[in-house]
Amino acid sequence: MFGLRLVGLSVALAPFVGAVSPIWGQCGGIGWTGDTTCATGSVCTVMNPYYFQCLPGTSAPTPPPTSSPSTTTTGPTTTSTPGTTTSAPPPSSTGFVKVSGQKFTLNGETYPLVGANSYWVGLMGYSTANMNQAFSDIAKAGGTTVRTWGFNDVTTANGIYYQLWQNGKGTVNTGATGLANFDNVIAAAKANGIRLIVALTNNWSDYGGMDVYVSQITGTQNHDYFYTNANVIAAFKSYIQTFVTRYKDEPTILGWELANEPRCRGSTGTSSGTCTTTTITQWASNISAFIKSIDSNHLVAIGDEGFFNDPGNPSYPYQGSEGIDFNANLNITTIDFGTAHLYPESWGQTTDPVGWGSQWITDHATSGKAVNKPVILEEFGVTNDQASTYTSWYSTIISSGLTGDLIWQAGSHFSTGSTPDDGYAIYPDDPVYPIESQHAAAIKARG
Protein backbone atom coordinates (compact mmCIF):
# COMPACT_ATOMS: atom_id res chain seq x y z
CA MET A 1 0.00 0.00 0.00
CA PHE A 2 1.17 3.56 -0.57
CA GLY A 3 0.21 7.18 0.04
CA LEU A 4 -0.56 6.42 3.69
CA ARG A 5 -2.62 8.90 5.71
CA LEU A 6 -1.60 8.77 9.34
CA VAL A 7 -4.67 9.63 11.39
CA GLY A 8 -4.36 9.39 15.17
CA LEU A 9 -7.45 8.37 17.13
CA SER A 10 -7.74 8.91 20.86
CA VAL A 11 -9.74 5.81 21.70
CA ALA A 12 -8.62 3.53 24.48
CA LEU A 13 -9.22 -0.20 24.31
CA ALA A 14 -10.11 -2.03 27.49
CA PRO A 15 -7.77 -4.96 28.17
CA PHE A 16 -8.87 -8.38 27.02
CA VAL A 17 -10.32 -10.30 29.92
CA GLY A 18 -11.02 -14.03 29.82
CA ALA A 19 -11.44 -16.90 32.20
CA VAL A 20 -7.72 -17.55 31.85
CA SER A 21 -5.12 -16.02 29.58
CA PRO A 22 -4.26 -18.35 26.67
CA ILE A 23 -0.76 -19.52 25.84
CA TRP A 24 1.08 -16.49 24.32
CA GLY A 25 -1.54 -14.17 25.85
CA GLN A 26 -0.87 -11.30 28.27
CA CYS A 27 -1.15 -12.12 31.98
CA GLY A 28 0.17 -9.02 33.75
CA GLY A 29 2.29 -5.91 33.67
CA ILE A 30 2.04 -2.28 34.76
CA GLY A 31 -1.51 -1.11 34.04
CA TRP A 32 -2.84 -4.60 33.22
CA THR A 33 -6.29 -5.31 34.71
CA GLY A 34 -7.04 -8.57 32.93
CA ASP A 35 -6.66 -12.17 34.04
CA THR A 36 -3.35 -13.18 35.58
CA THR A 37 -3.94 -16.94 35.43
CA CYS A 38 -2.41 -18.79 32.46
CA ALA A 39 -3.88 -21.73 30.59
CA THR A 40 -2.67 -25.18 31.61
CA GLY A 41 0.79 -25.89 30.26
CA SER A 42 1.95 -22.28 30.38
CA VAL A 43 3.38 -19.96 33.00
CA CYS A 44 3.09 -16.19 33.44
CA THR A 45 6.53 -14.76 32.63
CA VAL A 46 7.82 -11.17 32.82
CA MET A 47 8.84 -9.98 29.34
CA ASN A 48 9.24 -6.38 30.46
CA PRO A 49 7.67 -4.35 33.30
CA TYR A 50 4.61 -3.58 31.18
CA TYR A 51 4.06 -6.98 29.61
CA PHE A 52 3.85 -10.41 31.27
CA GLN A 53 3.07 -13.29 28.94
CA CYS A 54 1.82 -16.88 29.23
CA LEU A 55 4.66 -18.95 27.83
CA PRO A 56 4.76 -22.73 27.40
CA GLY A 57 6.25 -24.41 30.47
CA THR A 58 5.58 -25.38 34.07
CA SER A 59 8.26 -23.49 36.02
CA ALA A 60 7.45 -20.92 38.68
CA PRO A 61 6.45 -17.49 37.36
CA THR A 62 9.08 -14.78 37.19
CA PRO A 63 8.32 -12.30 39.99
CA PRO A 64 7.11 -8.87 38.87
CA PRO A 65 9.30 -5.79 39.26
CA THR A 66 8.93 -3.81 42.46
CA SER A 67 8.99 -0.38 40.81
CA SER A 68 8.29 1.30 37.53
CA PRO A 69 11.18 1.51 35.08
CA SER A 70 13.01 4.69 34.31
CA THR A 71 12.83 6.05 30.78
CA THR A 72 15.81 7.15 28.76
CA THR A 73 15.82 8.92 25.41
CA THR A 74 18.69 8.29 23.04
CA GLY A 75 19.44 10.61 20.12
CA PRO A 76 20.20 9.49 16.56
CA THR A 77 23.43 7.63 16.05
CA THR A 78 25.26 5.86 13.27
CA THR A 79 27.50 3.84 15.50
CA SER A 80 27.59 0.08 15.25
CA THR A 81 26.83 -0.50 18.93
CA PRO A 82 23.54 -2.40 19.26
CA GLY A 83 20.91 -1.33 21.78
CA THR A 84 20.82 -2.96 25.18
CA THR A 85 17.87 -4.04 27.25
CA THR A 86 17.35 -4.80 30.91
CA SER A 87 14.14 -6.79 30.39
CA ALA A 88 14.01 -10.57 30.47
CA PRO A 89 14.93 -12.19 27.15
CA PRO A 90 11.97 -13.34 25.04
CA PRO A 91 11.44 -17.03 24.30
CA SER A 92 13.49 -18.46 21.48
CA SER A 93 11.74 -19.10 18.18
CA THR A 94 12.60 -22.62 17.13
CA GLY A 95 13.15 -23.55 13.52
CA PHE A 96 12.95 -21.59 10.30
CA VAL A 97 9.79 -21.50 8.21
CA LYS A 98 10.31 -23.39 4.94
CA VAL A 99 8.21 -24.28 1.90
CA SER A 100 7.00 -27.65 0.71
CA GLY A 101 4.99 -27.50 -2.48
CA GLN A 102 2.25 -24.91 -1.98
CA LYS A 103 2.55 -24.98 1.82
CA PHE A 104 4.74 -23.30 4.37
CA THR A 105 6.21 -25.65 6.97
CA LEU A 106 7.79 -25.28 10.40
CA ASN A 107 9.66 -28.14 12.02
CA GLY A 108 8.04 -30.64 9.67
CA GLU A 109 4.47 -29.43 10.23
CA THR A 110 2.27 -27.17 8.11
CA TYR A 111 2.72 -23.52 9.06
CA PRO A 112 -0.58 -21.65 8.64
CA LEU A 113 0.31 -18.22 7.23
CA VAL A 114 -2.37 -15.73 8.25
CA GLY A 115 -2.19 -12.33 9.88
CA ALA A 116 -1.77 -8.68 9.02
CA ASN A 117 0.44 -5.86 7.86
CA SER A 118 1.93 -3.52 10.45
CA TYR A 119 4.37 -1.30 8.57
CA TRP A 120 4.35 1.20 11.45
CA VAL A 121 5.35 -0.98 14.38
CA GLY A 122 9.06 -0.18 14.21
CA LEU A 123 9.01 3.25 12.60
CA MET A 124 7.14 5.60 14.93
CA GLY A 125 9.14 5.46 18.11
CA TYR A 126 6.73 3.17 19.91
CA SER A 127 7.81 1.73 23.23
CA THR A 128 8.51 -1.97 23.56
CA ALA A 129 5.28 -2.25 25.56
CA ASN A 130 3.33 -0.81 22.63
CA MET A 131 5.11 -3.11 20.20
CA ASN A 132 4.14 -6.03 22.40
CA GLN A 133 0.51 -4.91 22.46
CA ALA A 134 0.45 -4.49 18.68
CA PHE A 135 1.63 -8.04 18.10
CA SER A 136 -0.59 -9.34 20.89
CA ASP A 137 -3.67 -7.80 19.22
CA ILE A 138 -2.81 -9.60 15.98
CA ALA A 139 -2.08 -12.89 17.76
CA LYS A 140 -5.39 -12.74 19.64
CA ALA A 141 -7.18 -12.68 16.28
CA GLY A 142 -5.34 -15.87 15.37
CA GLY A 143 -2.55 -14.25 13.38
CA THR A 144 0.73 -16.08 12.99
CA THR A 145 2.51 -13.68 10.66
CA VAL A 146 3.08 -9.93 10.29
CA ARG A 147 4.53 -8.05 7.35
CA THR A 148 6.49 -4.91 8.19
CA TRP A 149 9.00 -2.45 6.78
CA GLY A 150 12.73 -3.04 7.10
CA PHE A 151 13.62 0.33 5.61
CA ASN A 152 13.46 4.06 6.22
CA ASP A 153 15.76 6.12 4.01
CA VAL A 154 16.24 9.74 5.05
CA THR A 155 18.42 12.68 4.05
CA THR A 156 18.28 14.27 7.51
CA ALA A 157 18.79 12.25 10.69
CA ASN A 158 15.54 12.48 12.63
CA GLY A 159 13.51 10.00 14.67
CA ILE A 160 13.67 6.35 13.68
CA TYR A 161 15.61 5.76 10.45
CA TYR A 162 17.59 2.89 9.00
CA GLN A 163 19.72 4.59 6.35
CA LEU A 164 20.97 8.17 6.15
CA TRP A 165 21.77 9.52 2.68
CA GLN A 166 24.23 12.39 2.24
CA ASN A 167 26.18 13.39 -0.87
CA GLY A 168 25.23 10.24 -2.75
CA LYS A 169 26.21 7.81 -0.02
CA GLY A 170 24.00 5.82 2.31
CA THR A 171 25.07 5.00 5.87
CA VAL A 172 23.14 2.36 7.80
CA ASN A 173 22.05 3.42 11.28
CA THR A 174 22.73 0.49 13.59
CA GLY A 175 22.19 2.49 16.77
CA ALA A 176 19.22 2.88 19.10
CA THR A 177 17.16 4.79 16.52
CA GLY A 178 18.08 2.34 13.77
CA LEU A 179 18.57 -1.38 13.61
CA ALA A 180 18.76 -1.68 17.40
CA ASN A 181 15.16 -0.46 17.34
CA PHE A 182 14.33 -3.17 14.82
CA ASP A 183 15.86 -5.63 17.30
CA ASN A 184 13.02 -4.60 19.63
CA VAL A 185 10.46 -5.27 16.91
CA ILE A 186 11.81 -8.80 16.51
CA ALA A 187 11.81 -9.37 20.27
CA ALA A 188 8.19 -8.23 20.56
CA ALA A 189 7.10 -10.43 17.66
CA LYS A 190 8.95 -13.38 19.17
CA ALA A 191 7.31 -12.80 22.55
CA ASN A 192 3.90 -13.12 20.91
CA GLY A 193 4.62 -16.15 18.74
CA ILE A 194 4.60 -14.06 15.55
CA ARG A 195 6.86 -14.53 12.51
CA LEU A 196 7.84 -11.54 10.35
CA ILE A 197 7.97 -10.91 6.62
CA VAL A 198 10.30 -7.94 6.12
CA ALA A 199 10.32 -5.73 3.02
CA LEU A 200 13.70 -4.14 2.29
CA THR A 201 12.72 -1.03 0.29
CA ASN A 202 9.66 0.77 -1.06
CA ASN A 203 8.51 1.52 -4.59
CA TRP A 204 6.84 4.62 -3.15
CA SER A 205 8.18 7.72 -1.43
CA ASP A 206 6.80 6.75 1.98
CA TYR A 207 9.85 6.16 4.20
CA GLY A 208 12.28 6.96 1.42
CA GLY A 209 12.60 3.93 -0.77
CA MET A 210 13.85 3.50 -4.31
CA ASP A 211 13.65 7.14 -5.40
CA VAL A 212 16.08 8.21 -2.68
CA TYR A 213 18.67 5.79 -4.04
CA VAL A 214 18.08 7.01 -7.59
CA SER A 215 18.13 10.74 -6.86
CA GLN A 216 21.15 10.52 -4.55
CA ILE A 217 23.25 8.38 -6.89
CA THR A 218 22.14 9.37 -10.40
CA GLY A 219 20.81 12.87 -9.83
CA THR A 220 17.67 12.03 -11.82
CA GLN A 221 14.03 11.16 -11.13
CA ASN A 222 14.04 8.10 -13.40
CA HIS A 223 12.52 5.58 -11.02
CA ASP A 224 13.45 2.54 -13.10
CA TYR A 225 17.17 3.28 -12.73
CA PHE A 226 16.77 1.49 -9.41
CA TYR A 227 16.58 -1.76 -11.41
CA THR A 228 19.31 -1.10 -13.95
CA ASN A 229 21.91 1.40 -12.73
CA ALA A 230 24.99 -0.51 -11.52
CA ASN A 231 25.81 1.97 -8.75
CA VAL A 232 22.25 1.98 -7.43
CA ILE A 233 22.13 -1.82 -7.45
CA ALA A 234 25.46 -1.94 -5.59
CA ALA A 235 24.16 0.49 -2.96
CA PHE A 236 20.98 -1.55 -2.43
CA LYS A 237 23.03 -4.72 -2.12
CA SER A 238 25.23 -3.00 0.46
CA TYR A 239 22.15 -2.17 2.55
CA ILE A 240 20.88 -5.73 2.16
CA GLN A 241 24.28 -7.09 3.21
CA THR A 242 24.14 -5.15 6.49
CA PHE A 243 20.46 -5.67 7.28
CA VAL A 244 20.09 -9.32 6.26
CA THR A 245 23.40 -10.45 7.75
CA ARG A 246 22.38 -8.99 11.12
CA TYR A 247 19.32 -11.28 11.22
CA LYS A 248 20.29 -14.26 9.08
CA ASP A 249 20.26 -16.59 12.09
CA GLU A 250 17.01 -15.20 13.58
CA PRO A 251 14.09 -17.64 13.08
CA THR A 252 11.49 -15.03 14.08
CA ILE A 253 11.91 -13.68 10.56
CA LEU A 254 9.92 -15.80 8.12
CA GLY A 255 11.30 -14.21 5.00
CA TRP A 256 12.66 -11.23 3.14
CA GLU A 257 10.92 -9.25 0.42
CA LEU A 258 12.89 -7.37 -2.19
CA ALA A 259 10.54 -4.39 -2.11
CA ASN A 260 7.04 -3.21 -1.40
CA GLU A 261 5.11 -3.11 -4.69
CA PRO A 262 7.93 -2.73 -7.24
CA ARG A 263 6.84 -1.11 -10.52
CA CYS A 264 8.53 0.63 -13.44
CA ARG A 265 7.25 3.94 -12.08
CA GLY A 266 7.17 5.22 -8.53
CA SER A 267 6.02 8.36 -6.76
CA THR A 268 7.95 10.61 -9.16
CA GLY A 269 5.90 9.29 -12.09
CA THR A 270 9.07 9.39 -14.18
CA SER A 271 11.02 6.59 -15.85
CA SER A 272 13.55 6.27 -18.65
CA GLY A 273 10.92 4.72 -20.92
CA THR A 274 12.87 1.49 -21.30
CA CYS A 275 11.51 -0.45 -18.31
CA THR A 276 9.53 -3.60 -19.15
CA THR A 277 8.42 -6.73 -17.35
CA THR A 278 11.76 -8.27 -18.33
CA THR A 279 13.60 -5.44 -16.56
CA ILE A 280 12.01 -6.16 -13.19
CA THR A 281 12.12 -9.95 -13.60
CA GLN A 282 15.87 -9.79 -14.25
CA TRP A 283 16.34 -7.46 -11.27
CA ALA A 284 14.31 -9.77 -9.02
CA SER A 285 16.39 -12.74 -10.11
CA ASN A 286 19.62 -10.85 -9.38
CA ILE A 287 18.63 -9.49 -5.97
CA SER A 288 16.96 -12.66 -4.72
CA ALA A 289 20.04 -14.69 -5.66
CA PHE A 290 22.20 -12.18 -3.78
CA ILE A 291 20.09 -12.55 -0.63
CA LYS A 292 20.28 -16.33 -0.88
CA SER A 293 24.07 -16.09 -1.19
CA ILE A 294 24.35 -14.46 2.24
CA ASP A 295 21.36 -16.03 4.00
CA SER A 296 20.40 -19.65 3.37
CA ASN A 297 17.97 -19.76 6.31
CA HIS A 298 15.18 -17.48 5.21
CA LEU A 299 12.60 -17.51 2.45
CA VAL A 300 12.61 -14.81 -0.23
CA ALA A 301 9.73 -13.19 -2.10
CA ILE A 302 9.41 -10.12 -4.29
CA GLY A 303 6.65 -8.22 -2.46
CA ASP A 304 4.91 -7.25 -5.70
CA GLU A 305 1.20 -6.72 -6.32
CA GLY A 306 0.86 -9.81 -8.46
CA PHE A 307 0.07 -8.07 -11.75
CA PHE A 308 -0.16 -10.43 -14.71
CA ASN A 309 1.36 -9.84 -18.16
CA ASP A 310 -1.47 -10.27 -20.66
CA PRO A 311 -1.30 -7.11 -22.86
CA GLY A 312 -4.64 -7.80 -24.55
CA ASN A 313 -6.61 -8.13 -21.34
CA PRO A 314 -9.23 -5.39 -20.82
CA SER A 315 -8.50 -5.30 -17.07
CA TYR A 316 -5.57 -3.04 -16.15
CA PRO A 317 -3.96 -5.27 -13.45
CA TYR A 318 -3.69 -8.08 -16.01
CA GLN A 319 -2.01 -6.05 -18.77
CA GLY A 320 1.62 -5.99 -17.63
CA SER A 321 1.80 -2.23 -18.06
CA GLU A 322 3.42 -1.68 -14.64
CA GLY A 323 6.38 -3.93 -15.39
CA ILE A 324 5.26 -6.96 -13.38
CA ASP A 325 4.81 -10.45 -14.85
CA PHE A 326 3.57 -12.53 -11.95
CA ASN A 327 3.96 -15.90 -13.63
CA ALA A 328 7.48 -15.19 -14.89
CA ASN A 329 8.54 -13.93 -11.47
CA LEU A 330 7.07 -16.94 -9.70
CA ASN A 331 9.28 -19.16 -11.84
CA ILE A 332 12.50 -17.53 -10.56
CA THR A 333 14.35 -20.31 -8.75
CA THR A 334 15.49 -18.04 -5.89
CA ILE A 335 11.93 -16.81 -5.22
CA ASP A 336 10.27 -19.13 -2.69
CA PHE A 337 6.71 -17.83 -2.72
CA GLY A 338 4.51 -15.47 -4.67
CA THR A 339 2.74 -12.37 -3.40
CA ALA A 340 -0.36 -10.53 -4.57
CA HIS A 341 -2.17 -7.42 -3.37
CA LEU A 342 -5.84 -6.60 -3.88
CA TYR A 343 -7.28 -3.09 -4.13
CA PRO A 344 -9.90 -3.36 -6.89
CA GLU A 345 -11.41 0.08 -6.41
CA SER A 346 -8.01 1.79 -6.51
CA TRP A 347 -7.28 -0.17 -9.69
CA GLY A 348 -10.46 1.02 -11.43
CA GLN A 349 -12.47 -2.18 -10.91
CA THR A 350 -15.62 -0.51 -9.60
CA THR A 351 -18.41 -2.44 -11.35
CA ASP A 352 -18.12 -5.53 -9.14
CA PRO A 353 -15.07 -5.12 -6.88
CA VAL A 354 -16.00 -8.08 -4.68
CA GLY A 355 -16.47 -10.49 -7.58
CA TRP A 356 -13.40 -9.13 -9.36
CA GLY A 357 -11.38 -9.66 -6.21
CA SER A 358 -12.53 -13.25 -5.86
CA GLN A 359 -11.45 -13.96 -9.42
CA TRP A 360 -8.07 -12.30 -8.71
CA ILE A 361 -7.60 -14.63 -5.72
CA THR A 362 -8.55 -17.69 -7.77
CA ASP A 363 -6.20 -16.75 -10.62
CA HIS A 364 -3.26 -16.44 -8.25
CA ALA A 365 -4.07 -19.74 -6.60
CA THR A 366 -4.04 -21.30 -10.08
CA SER A 367 -0.59 -19.82 -10.78
CA GLY A 368 0.75 -21.23 -7.51
CA LYS A 369 -0.55 -24.68 -8.35
CA ALA A 370 1.04 -24.52 -11.81
CA VAL A 371 4.57 -24.11 -10.38
CA ASN A 372 3.86 -25.82 -7.03
CA LYS A 373 4.84 -22.83 -4.88
CA PRO A 374 2.97 -21.01 -2.11
CA VAL A 375 1.14 -17.82 -3.06
CA ILE A 376 -0.22 -15.40 -0.48
CA LEU A 377 -2.56 -12.43 -0.66
CA GLU A 378 -0.28 -10.28 1.43
CA GLU A 379 -2.23 -7.02 1.18
CA PHE A 380 -5.90 -6.43 0.56
CA GLY A 381 -8.42 -3.82 1.48
CA VAL A 382 -11.57 -1.83 0.86
CA THR A 383 -12.83 1.15 2.85
CA ASN A 384 -16.56 0.41 2.49
CA ASP A 385 -18.55 -2.75 3.23
CA GLN A 386 -15.46 -4.30 4.79
CA ALA A 387 -17.24 -7.06 6.72
CA SER A 388 -19.18 -8.44 3.75
CA THR A 389 -16.30 -7.99 1.30
CA TYR A 390 -13.71 -9.69 3.49
CA THR A 391 -16.10 -12.51 4.34
CA SER A 392 -16.48 -13.18 0.61
CA TRP A 393 -12.77 -12.97 -0.10
CA TYR A 394 -11.89 -15.14 2.88
CA SER A 395 -14.28 -17.76 1.57
CA THR A 396 -12.57 -17.66 -1.82
CA ILE A 397 -9.12 -17.96 -0.22
CA ILE A 398 -10.22 -21.16 1.50
CA SER A 399 -12.06 -22.65 -1.50
CA SER A 400 -9.35 -21.77 -4.05
CA GLY A 401 -6.55 -23.26 -1.97
CA LEU A 402 -4.56 -20.01 -1.85
CA THR A 403 -1.82 -20.57 0.72
CA GLY A 404 -2.47 -17.67 3.08
CA ASP A 405 -3.18 -13.99 3.55
CA LEU A 406 -2.27 -10.82 5.46
CA ILE A 407 -4.87 -8.06 5.76
CA TRP A 408 -3.99 -4.39 5.22
CA GLN A 409 -3.76 -3.40 7.96
CA ALA A 410 -3.66 -4.09 11.70
CA GLY A 411 -4.58 -1.43 14.22
CA SER A 412 -4.13 -1.07 17.97
CA HIS A 413 -5.40 1.36 20.59
CA PHE A 414 -2.51 2.32 22.85
CA SER A 415 -2.85 4.33 26.05
CA THR A 416 -1.02 7.10 24.19
CA GLY A 417 -3.41 7.01 21.21
CA SER A 418 -4.26 4.79 18.28
CA THR A 419 -2.00 3.49 15.54
CA PRO A 420 -2.30 4.92 12.00
CA ASP A 421 -5.60 4.59 10.18
CA ASP A 422 -5.64 5.13 6.43
CA GLY A 423 -9.24 4.00 6.21
CA TYR A 424 -8.30 0.31 6.08
CA ALA A 425 -7.10 -0.32 9.64
CA ILE A 426 -8.88 -2.99 11.68
CA TYR A 427 -8.74 -2.45 15.45
CA PRO A 428 -9.67 -5.07 18.06
CA ASP A 429 -13.03 -3.33 18.63
CA ASP A 430 -13.89 -3.33 14.90
CA PRO A 431 -16.65 -5.66 13.63
CA VAL A 432 -14.15 -7.16 11.17
CA TYR A 433 -11.82 -8.32 13.97
CA PRO A 434 -13.89 -11.42 14.88
CA ILE A 435 -14.24 -12.18 11.16
CA GLU A 436 -10.44 -12.24 10.97
CA SER A 437 -10.39 -14.60 13.93
CA GLN A 438 -12.86 -16.98 12.30
CA HIS A 439 -10.85 -16.95 9.08
CA ALA A 440 -7.57 -17.61 10.90
CA ALA A 441 -9.18 -20.65 12.49
CA ALA A 442 -10.30 -21.85 9.04
CA ILE A 443 -6.76 -21.44 7.64
CA LYS A 444 -5.36 -23.45 10.54
CA ALA A 445 -8.04 -26.13 10.28
CA ARG A 446 -7.23 -27.07 6.70
CA GLY A 447 -3.72 -28.18 7.68
pLDDT at 28: 74
Task: Identify which has the larger pLDDT, 324 or 55.
Answer: 324
Question: Using one digit for the tens of pLDDT, what is the confidence trace for 166-220?
Answer: 999 999 999 999 999 999 999 999 999 999 999 999 999 999 999 999 999 999 9
pLDDT category at 43 given cuts 50, 70, 90 is: confident
- The reply to whether 393 and 344 lie within a common domain is yes
pLDDT of residue 25: 66
The answer to whether residue 80 sits within a structural domain is no
Q: Decide if pLDDT at 31 tops 80.
A: no
State pLDDT tens for residues 388-427.
Answer: 999 999 999 999 999 999 999 999 999 999 999 999 999 9
Beta-carbon contacts of 444 under 8 Å, excluding residues fewer than 6 positions away, are: 112, 114, 142
Tell me, yes or no, whether 131 lies in a domain.
yes
Asked if the model's pLDDT at residue 1 lies above 80, the reply is no
**What pLDDT shows up at residue 12?**
31
Residue 61, pLDDT score:
39
Whether the predicted pLDDT of 39 surpasses 60:
yes
In angstroms and rounded to an integer, the radius of gyration of the C-alpha atoms of the chain is 21
pLDDT at residue 155, rounded to an integer: 97
Per-residue pLDDT, 49: 53
pLDDT digits (tens, 9 = 90+) for 386-395: 999 999 999 9
Whether 145 and 205 map to the same domain: the answer is: yes
Q: Kindly state whether residue 235 falls inside one of the protein's structural domains.
A: yes
Q: What is the mean pLDDT of the chain?
A: 88
Same-domain check for residues 198 and 308: yes
SS3 annotation, the chain? CCCCCCCCCCCCCCCCCCCCECCCCEEECCCCCCCCCECCCEEEEEEECCEEEEEECCCCCCCCCCCCCCCCCCCCCCCCCCCCCCCCCCCCCCCCCEEECCEEEECCEEECCEEEECCCCCCCCCCHHHHHHHHHHHHHCCCCEEEEECCCEECCCCCCCCEEEECCEEEECCCCCCHHHHHHHHHHHHHCCCEEEEECCECCCCCCCHHHHHHHHHCCCCCCHHHHCHHHHHHHHHHHHHHHHHHCCCCCEEEEECCECCCCCCCCCCCCCCCCHHHHHHHHHHHHHHHHHHCCCCEEECCCCCCCECCCCCCHHHECCCCCCHHHHHCCCCCCCEEEEECCCCCCCCCCHHHHHHHHHHHHHHHHHHHCCCEEEEEECCCCCHHHHHHHHHHHHHHHCCCEEEECCECCEECCEECCCCCCCECCCCCHHHHHHHHHHHHHHCC
Q: How far is CA 394 from CA 114, 337, 402, in A?
A: 11, 20, 10
- pLDDT attached to residue 276: 98
202, part of any domain = yes
- Residue 34 belongs to what domain range? 25-56
Whether residue 37 is found in the same domain as residue 106: no
Within a domain: residue 273?
A: yes
Q: State which amino acid sits at residue 310.
A: D
Asked if residue 326 belongs to a domain, the reply is: yes
Integer Cα distance of 166 and 217 in angstroms: 10
Q: In this predicted model, which residue has the larger pLDDT, 37 or 374?
A: 374
Rounded to whole angstroms, how far apart are CA atoms 413 and 429? Answer: 9
Q: How confident is the model at residue 130 (pLDDT cuts 50, 70, 90)?
A: very high
Q: Give the CATH number, domain containing residue 199.
A: 3.20.20.80
Are residue 120 and residue 222 in the same domain, yes or no? Answer: yes
Confidence of residue 291 (pLDDT cuts 50, 70, 90): very high
> Into how many domains does the chain fold?
2
Q: Among candidates 99, 97, 102, which has minimal Cα distance to 367?
A: 102
Q: What is the pLDDT of residues 60-94, one digit of tens each?
A: 434 333 333 232 222 233 333 333 333 344 445 78
Mean pLDDT of the region 282-288: 98
Strand 145-149 and strand 153-154: the pairing is unpaired
> Which pLDDT band, with edges at 50, 70 and 90, does 282 fall under?
very high
Distance of alpha carbon 370 from the chain centroid = 26
Is residue 155 situated within a structural domain?
A: yes
Residues whose CB falls within 8 Å of the CB of residue 371, separated by 6 or more in sequence, listed in order = 327, 330, 331
- 286 and 339 together in one domain: yes
Residues 126 and 256 both lie in one domain: yes
- 101 and 51 share one domain: no
Last residue of a domain, one of 33, 56, 79: 56
Distance CA 307, CA 385 (A): 24
Give a yes or no: residue 85 inside a domain. no
Please say if the pLDDT value at position 254 is more than 80: yes
pLDDT digits (tens, 9 = 90+) for 3-28: 433 333 232 333 333 357 776 666 77
Residue 150 has pLDDT above 80, yes or no: yes
pTM reported for the whole predicted model: 0.81
pLDDT digit string, tens, across residues 340-390: 999 999 999 999 999 999 999 999 999 999 999 999 999 999 999 999 999
- Say yes or no: 162 and 35 in one domain: no
Q: What Å distances lie between residue 244 and 152, 220, 299, 300, 436, CA to CA? A: 15, 28, 12, 11, 31
Based on the domain organization, do 29 and 141 belong to the same domain?
no
Q: Is there a single domain that holds both residue 29 and residue 163?
A: no
Task: Determine the pLDDT at residue 45.
Answer: 81
Which residues are the active-site residues? 261, 379
**Residue 153 in contact with residue 160, Cβ under 8 Å?**
no
